[in-house]
Structure 1
Amino acid sequence: MNYTTIDHQEILQRYRPVVATTHKGIQGHALLVGGSYGKMGSVCLSSKAAIKSGCGLVTTFVPQCGYDIAQIAIPEVMVLTDVQVHCISAIHFDIVPDAIGIGPGLGQDPSTQQGLYNFLKSNRIPLVVDADALNILSLYPDWLALLPPKTIITPHWKELERLIGRWDSEEEHLEKTMAFSKQHQLIVVMKGAPTRIIDGDLVYQNTTGNAALATAGSGDVLTGMITSLLAQSYEPINAALLGVYLHGLTADIALPETGYQSFIASDIISYLGKAFLTLE
């Protein structure tokens, strides 16, 4: 096992400052797929986090019931809709994104499960998989073979348990996750305190973040951030590490102003600018 601590100096070696002559057409195009009736907030958080993490263009793909919500909540983001009103069933789009994040608020409707399978069968675009997309994959583990190599998955502990089975110790937890990562060629972001990122035999432990991040929507924001960085042509492992580091750093910066209790997922997005400035 090769173990690395992800701190400020380590991130500076991986971070790429924005070039002064850049424009939105070369800053990456991220697609966020998610949402279902009553769960549109998740994909809205992901999409806003993506545009706030430096992506030149962001498109969100939602069921028809989410069209007005997404257009109003995030005017900077373009919106595509499924043929279904209340859930996603057929992920078809005529754009060419540089990275796709899928899962926030997706739900597990049977038509959504079939839609996910059809999408994975044909997709070759770099991918971040979270939330209900992971829960569906845990129901159909054979589908993991459809994921492109170095796909990033971002499970919390319960989602990870559904994928790899239960563990009895921290050591077994890590060993099973590493074996899972190697078997399927996946980068696993093990969300927690601390968050660890697993890439086969490589284990990275993040140093930022605090208990304020234990709030609804925090993971959806992280998915949008990592998808954005992946779309900006960061290597998958660097997109995961930089996303996790900055995500945690926002809570560290905000804590003196918000305290633990009043920090919400939208605050992660609000403090992203200050987090990025620490790298300049």
Structure 2
Amino acid sequence: MEKHILIDKGEVVKRFKDISKDAHKGVQGHALIVGGSYGKMGAVCLSAKACLKSGAGLVTAYIPKCGYTIVQEAIPEIMVLTDDYNEHLIAIDHKLSLQAIGLGMGMGQDLDTHQAMFNFLRKNVVPLVIDADGLNILSDNKNWMELLPKHTVLTPHQKELERLIGSWDSKLEMLEKVKDFAVEYDVIMVVKGAPTLIVSKNAVYENTTGNQALATAGSGDVLTGIITGLIAQHYHPIDAAILGVYLHGLTADLALPETGNHAFTASDIIQFLGKAFLIFEH
């Protein structure tokens, strides 16, 4: 029997965990944000900063060499590892002890990046969130879906979703195809839109926060960072997706009196995250 659940404050509060008074960065989780390519380093900056602002104790960005100065200067609180290649990723190698990885933002789709992602997926056992070019590369290599850890979170917008599951004629057909896909590969699907839907096993969750201000470049990169940061803090991936989507939308609702719909940017999502979290902490 399929469950349809609205993601409202009550649904989120029962999943929310406050940070312990004796916490330190070592217990708040270490997240890795993998992506970036020449001209698209902003995506990684947004994602990594959002990951940190969601409460992760440590965040490292794994990027091509061309992004080193950009990321270090944009976010002094995070660490940076670089690939040997300058313009895009040709290997994803690290020796870090991690609790979560977000992958794909601004990564590009060069063939050697495909190979790098395949080699990474073959070895990786860390909980994973995949977005953007990571999803597009998966769409070209559907047999790699079998390599994903259970409960991997995929965050497609409409076009990325179409590449993954094929086209549809109605919202109902789309939802059925997403459910089949989620069950077949044991993944959590965050279908971005108005409203954003989360599909996991036999449940569909419909978000109740957010507005049209979120239709702005980088908004999805920020969402991936938030969800990755929550998983790093030992949230189960479905709870991280539900909480992340709700918070992401809530920032746009909270910002509306200040920014309106036109002037809201992805950086504003990050800026208003603190106010969004405060709703649960009182």
TM-score (norm 1): 1.00
Listed as ranges, the matches of 1:1-280 within 5 Å are 1-280=2-281
**Secondary structure at the counterpart of residue 125 of structure 1:** coil
C-alpha RMSD of the superposition: 0.4
Report the residue type matching 2:87 in the other structure.
H
Report the Cα distance in structure 1 between the residues aligned to 2:167 and 2:125, rounded to whole angstroms.
31
SS of the equivalent of 1:24 reads coil
Q: How far, CA to CA, are the matches of 1:107 and 1:203 in structure 2? A: 31
In the alignment, structure 2 segments of 5+ residues that lack a partner are: none
Q: State the number of aligned residues.
A: 280
SS at match of 1:189: strand
Shift of residue 64, structure 1, vs aligned partner: 0.2
Measure, in 2, the Cα distance between the counterparts of 1:201 and 1:160: 19
Code of the residue aligned with 1:187 in structure 2: it is: I
**Distance in structure 1 (CA, Å) of the matches to 2:23 and 2:148:** 31
Deviations along 1:189-228, one digit per CA (max 9) or x if unpaired, are: 0000000000021100000000000000000000000000
Q: Per-residue deviation at 1:94?
A: 1.7
Q: Give the letter for the 2:96 counterpart.
A: I
In structure 2, what is the Cα distance between the partners aligned to 1:25 and 1:136? 33
CA deviations on 1:234-269 (whole Å, 9 max, x unpaired) are 001000000000000000000011000000000000
Distance 1:147 1:237 in 2: 15
What amino acid sits opposite 1:221 in the alignment? V
The runs of at least 4 consecutive aligned structure 1 residues that moved more than 2 Å come to: none
Residue 96 of structure 1: CA displacement?
1.1
Q: Describe the superposition over 1:43-90 as per-residue Cα deviations: whole angstroms up to 9, x where unpaired.
A: 110000000110100000000000000000000000000011000011
Q: Measure, in 2, the Cα distance between the counterparts of 1:76 and 1:163.
A: 35
Q: State the one-letter code of the partner of 1:141.
A: K
Task: State the shift of 1:152 in Å.
Answer: 0.2
* TM-score in terms of structure 2 length: 0.99
Percent of paired sites with the same residue: 60
